[in-house]
Chains A and B, each alone.
Chain A
């Protein structure tokens, strides 16, 4: 039986006196997709930050391949919902992605090609649309050879076609062995791979029964053409 790639046991976190997460247990297998659902303010972003090591839990632990996260946090990439990036920074997309790889641009093109941004390699990152920026951040995570990709509300600000594309991209990443964990509070595109689903409610994580994908969600059509 495969060992879990990322494992959290008894995670708890509090903001001052206010307890946000209690007793969170989670196992993420290689080449899997996990979806964490929950209402706004449920603690989804906090949980992802704990899984990346950005926050220290008040109790419990997180292990990557059985070892503490410290020293290997690079292998867990978090794409936040609202990244505090300086998008006006003078840097081209190719160099932006290569920076994460820690090497020259030769390591960059595959990552850009995987997310479909290779034609934009020479563009300044400030000129990218919101959907392109999100894919650029995913390319950056791929360039650093992250084993686990954490995505916070990745579909929240995307249009219909972009959601389908991102879902298909995540499907290809999962099939190549990357573990994906994403948070969502709305509908998901049907191109997303079959996933383990959890509900984060009142600070606890509850596994949800597997559901077949139904075509409940369709991209909007342009009424003018």
Chain B
């Protein structure tokens, strides 16, 4: 416990807080809009963009976001052009997901880049720096603004997208905004939990919060609180048990679901 008084723990702790708030807030909207599979695709499609960014000396935040958005737009264009049913669409999406991961790993090998692949995939919270915290904090602020300014629009997208089109709401643009903010949060959360594990922090607190929520606002508040507790617990336990924090947080999310089942059963 004395170790927590050390100032060098402050950044990982704050980063865990920001991540623990951002991911579940985003996740609540994504679960209600049934966009979780697409988000999983984005999480892995970030990798080639980050690698290319490093190779070209460009900010990996932007190249990662561009890569994730490009993958989603490509998949959705393919699905629309092929008129696939839900099963085929899911198969296509997962193929692109795996291919993105493979492409990222190949690029690292071919370009012989000094990329910490393990850190990218599983996070390395304890060595996070000020840049990572600023990135995550910015993503949290932007996310809060997006939720606040478009609250009714997000309700329409989750509740009745067809009704939203009837009322001439810009559904396509809203989905694009949601994809962009998703890419921002996922890339920013890389330092804390990693691309392979971020989905646990996005989904599990949201599911627990949605169980008895009577409104979107209530679900968002509960999800943020649960996510904050899981992230902080993961960070503290990582120090105490000398274990990697990203996998600890992801495993904690699984326990969260098990606990919920016990209570409801």
Residue of A53, A80, A89, A100 with most chain B CB atoms under a 10 A cut-off: A89
Docked Cα-Cα span, A77 to B166, in Å, equals: 8
Task: Name A91's contact: one of B161, B162, B216 (CB within 8 Å).
Answer: B216
Q: Is the interface of B mostly helix, strand, loop or mixed?
A: helix
Docked Cα-Cα span, A100 to B214, in Å, equals: 18
Whether B32 and A89, one on each chain, are in contact in the complex, defined by CB atoms closer than 8 angstroms, is yes
Give the nearest-CB partner of B218 in chain A. Answer: A90
Whether A73 and B167, one on each chain, are in contact in the complex, defined by CB atoms closer than 8 angstroms, is yes
What count of chain A residues pass the 8 Å CB interface test?
A: 25
- How many residue pairs at the A-B interface have CB separations less than 8 Å? 60
Give the nearest-CB partner of A124 in chain B. Answer: B214
Residue of B155, B163, B167, B213 with most chain A CB atoms under a 10 A cut-off: B163
* Known A73-B168, A77-B166, A144-B167: A90·B210 in contact at CB below 8 Å: yes
Closest approach, in angstroms, between the C-beta of A201 and any C-beta of chain B? Answer: 27
Whether B213 and A90, one on each chain, are in contact in the complex, defined by CB atoms closer than 8 angstroms, is yes
Docked Cα-Cα span, A9 to B152, in Å, equals: 35
- Give residues of chain A (50-72) contacting chain B, Cβ–Cβ below 8 Å: 52-54, 70-71
- Give residues of chain B (122-158) contacting chain A, Cβ–Cβ below 8 Å: 152, 155-156, 158
Closest approach, in angstroms, between the C-beta of B223 and any C-beta of chain A? Answer: 11
Say whether B84 faces chain A, with CB atoms less than 8 Å apart. no
**Chain A residues close to B by CB (< 8 Å):** 52-54, 70-71, 73-74, 77-78, 80, 83-86, 89-92, 95-96, 99-100, 102, 124, 144
**Chain B residues close to A by CB (< 8 Å):** 32, 34, 152, 155-156, 158-163, 165-168, 210, 213-216, 218-219
Could you list 14 further interchain pairs (A-B, Cβ under 8 angstroms) beyond the known A52-B166, A89-B32, A100-B167? A73-B166, A74-B166, A78-B166, A83-B163, A85-B163, A86-B158, A89-B158, A89-B159, A90-B214, A90-B218, A91-B214, A99-B156, A100-B163, A102-B152
